Amino acid sequence: MASTSANGRVPALTAGATPGYTRPALGGEPGQRVPSGEMWGGWSTGFAISATLLAGVGLYGLAGYWIDRLVGTPKVFTAVGMLLGAGLGIYIVYLRYGRERENRR
């Protein structure tokens, strides 16, 4: 067994013939066929959550900007709209994805 210390008692992280500290490649092991649905499985959920949060902030921020222009206030409603959109976006993500995990238990 290899050692990283001068006294030779502590094993190295790369010791041994097996790659125990190396993560497998995204596409799986060489020569092993991975179904296409499993390889990118979590990406669609991540993009959906990101889009929901960004859309909430953007749409409510835009509505606040429109109200600011209508009333003549200096970006007060824009900030309120963006905060409201962020809060509602988080709530919608919780309703779609958070409850799903609670019901599986």
Q: Domain limits of the chain? A: 42-104
Residue 69's pLDDT is: 95
pTM listed for this prediction:
0.57
Which of the four pLDDT bands, split at 50, 70 and 90, describes residue 36? low
Three-state SS letters, the chain: CCECCCCCCCECCCCCCCCCCCCCCCCCCCCCCCCHHHHCCCHHHHHHHHHHHHHHHHHHHHHHHHHHHHHCCCCHHHHHHHHHHHHHHHHHHHHHHHHHHHHHC
Tokens of 52: 């929901």
Which of the four pLDDT bands, split at 50, 70 and 90, describes residue 81? very high
Residue 97's pLDDT is: 84
Maximum average pLDDT range among 46-50, 52-56, 93-97: 52-56
pLDDT at 101 over 90: no
Residue 42's pLDDT is: 72
Distance CA 86, CA 65 (A): 15
Residue 84's pLDDT is: 97
Is 104 in contact with 75 (CB distance < 8 Å)? no
